[in-house]
Structure 1
Amino acid sequence: MNNKFTKFNISDEILKSIEGLGYKTPSKVQEKVIPEILMNKDIIVKSQTGSGKTAAFGIPLCEKVDWNENIPQILILTPTRELAVQVSEDITNIGRFKRIKAVSVFGKEPISEQERKLRQKTHVVVGTPGRIIDHLDRGTLSVDKIRYFVIDEADEMLNMGFIGQVEGIIRRLPKKKVTMLFSATIPEEIKVLCDKYMNKPIDISIKNQEITNENIEHSLYYIDYEEKIEKLNDILIIEKPETAVIFAKTKDNVDTVFQWLKSKGYSVNKIHGGMLQNERLSIMDRFRAGDFRILVSTDLASRGIDVKGITHVINYDLPVEKEAYVHRIGRTGRAGEKGKAISFCVKGKDKLLNEIEEFIGFEIPVYNLPDKKVIEKEREEGIKTLKSKPKVKEQRSKDINSNITKIYLNGGKKKKIRPGDIVGAICKIEGIKSEDIGIIDVQDSVSYVDILNGKGKRVIEELKNITIKGKIIKAEKAKK
């Protein structure tokens, strides 16, 4: 296997997963973080979004999971629902062939469904602080066996006022555990938290310049406020982005930009905190699938925008918090890919810009806006591009899932069916071993089971002739 992750001495199941996910060479943060977690060291990691940090903790944590343990061993805190869902999906994909079960829990979703999932074998729980506390208070989340604890995007936790909740959760966890904190910045309040609860942590810092200077081309345009949206249109026509995220500072600005671009017939959508959670998650799934080219977003809603191949980030409004600039541009130039970060600054409003440049350690190159002749020359092709769907499709986990079939069974807990019963029945099929069976989800009236290694069609056929718990169970390829 020509994969540089082999040097970390991780198992074949994890290597097989990350190979399918396209991981070939560790990023800088992965290079430094993975060995420390494998050695059970507490770590504080300063690294921007897009540096590969989820895999940096996800790979070694999946390696450390004891599959036979039924209650959670790993707890990961994220500041937003979208990020919780994304991290949970990443952990599931990395741990696919080890059959690692990750559950995400967050607010504004029925807690009963989360409770059902947590009652089953669960290795990893990913959630927002408020909902984790809800489950702890209700006794529906056991943390007695938590051995690894991750605080992801800690500076965002601080900005959103969650640090008190995070500290309350830490006090309820076992004292003997490995703690990992990841943050684009390390404010004083975060340092105090680390000093109080971490055991001789190792500091790992991936400088912003190590990423932004290499992979991201920065540009700045000074504009008059009244011309802002027209100049955005000019830039889009010239740049013809394959996929772009446009950041605005308020949901009203997001709505305004979205409606204006939509009126032009462009391939565009939006997310902001005023939208229903299910709608936001659905839009993100469509963005990953390449259903539209441009996403307009606020900073808050952007947490969890983990989409491969974003070519442009456009700061229609400069962020109020200088740290947010690093988070924003981290959406492009990921994992060695090239990207562009384009920012608008209203003339005479340099204060935020100066703070950002001081924070990132360099001045953003200033460019003149394209002249009318250039725009007219590019207009027809630019508009045609902007109205079309992107060519780049989200390839995330495509390879790893190509040989996996999710099977639907029309029986569950009401028929006294347990995961072990399903494993037993499937293993009666000639040529099928327990290693071919992935994650099993037994619900009240139905069950779902992942069949690995391209054997799903055979299992569906053979289950027609096999009973489970003495009952004939209908099996078919799951629609979801």
Structure 2
Amino acid sequence: MKFEEIDLGPDIMSGLADVNYTELTELQEEVLPAVLEGKDALVKAEPGSDKIASFVIPALEMIDDREEKESASVLVLTPNPEESQQIDELVWAMGYHAQIESASVDMDTEPEEQEEALKSSVQVITGNPGPLADITKKLRFVFRDVKLVVIDATDSMVELGLQSKLKGILRRVLNEHQTIIYTGEMNDEVKKFAKHYLEDPEVIGLDSSTKMLSEPPKVDSNLSHGYIYVPNRMKITTLMAHIEETPTDNCVIFTASKRGTDRLYRTLRKQNLKATSLHGKLSDEKRAQRFANFTNGDVQYLLVADIPAAELDIQRVTQVINYDVPANPDEYRYRADLVGSGKASRVVSLVSKQDRSDINELESTLKQAPKELNLPKKVKEKLKERKKKKKKGKKKSKHKKKKRHNNGRNKRKKKKKDDLELPRPSYDKLSGGRKGQAKKDQKSGVIGLIKELFS
């Protein structure tokens, strides 16, 4: 699509021509119509000029339509100073013919410049939450005429712990306004933020994420869901035994990490089971292909890590297995929502020692709590074998200990015996010996005679 096909003012079109913008990118084709219609939006997008232009162009068009342009109409919040300055430059270049000005309140500008930027009559203010929150608080500054707020790279803001700064700035926007939130990844904190600040938003770049902004579904009362306490160092064994006992048409297995999906993938392939994996680091193309392989029925098992269940556009699967128990009860509900109700459908969680607290929270939070299930037969058999080996090992160790103990006792006995059988010293040649003493006494005259008589 070309920009000429969109209803933009002549001054904005001249600005686009100045920077050689002729055709919309795929992201811009999705974002521009929604923003131009005045809708709130939640957009997943990577950093770059493509993303920046997707909100700068409709923002400039909105300002150009306004009769009064003496105060800020657009507020853009971004986490790093380089991007704030880049946005500022693009606004100046594209808005030159429409006489739209902007200012950047970022970490690289001096406090005096930051104050001047807020006091000046620019139409677009871009900035980093830290310095912007501090300077607005110092000046007791409020935004009275802002019509559009853009929050960029919200996931990075959350990682940097800037939520309180963001909230402080947004409290200073006094009038009703349109909000666009951009994020590189969707997580619980971004979801909470979006739910609070967006109203009936257009969701772009996130599969089925409209579910994420609404209340999580309740667990179907007809759904069979439970958990298995996994013996120590037997998690994969338990999983494979459970899969063997409960064959299904299709199954989604959730793990806590990409490493976990890779490990399970190798295990399933060794058993000649068709599987594929999804994780947050996959490119959009690979992710779409693998997802299609599962939904088309080419593979039976879908291994998922680092992707919320609400993002998976799956109608019904026969079984969901939580290889790692979700810490968030809402995530458990979304996973359960992937499964159709009925006798053949189920959700099973494998609970290891470190998962006990998570399953306890689920039991206390969910109205229909999961029930404890029996261990698969193969796991029980292996446990018996393990116990037998342990008993044999204990017997052997006891026998060895006893043998060592007996050997030690025998050695001590032998030593005592040897001590008893040592040759007695001869006193014949000792001066104090019996014979030697006798000879000495004989020489002593009367004393020797008396001793001889008594002896």
Normalised-by-shorter TM-score class: 0.3 to 0.5
> If the length of structure 1 is used for normalisation, what is the TM-score?
0.42
> If the length of structure 2 is used for normalisation, what is the TM-score?
0.45
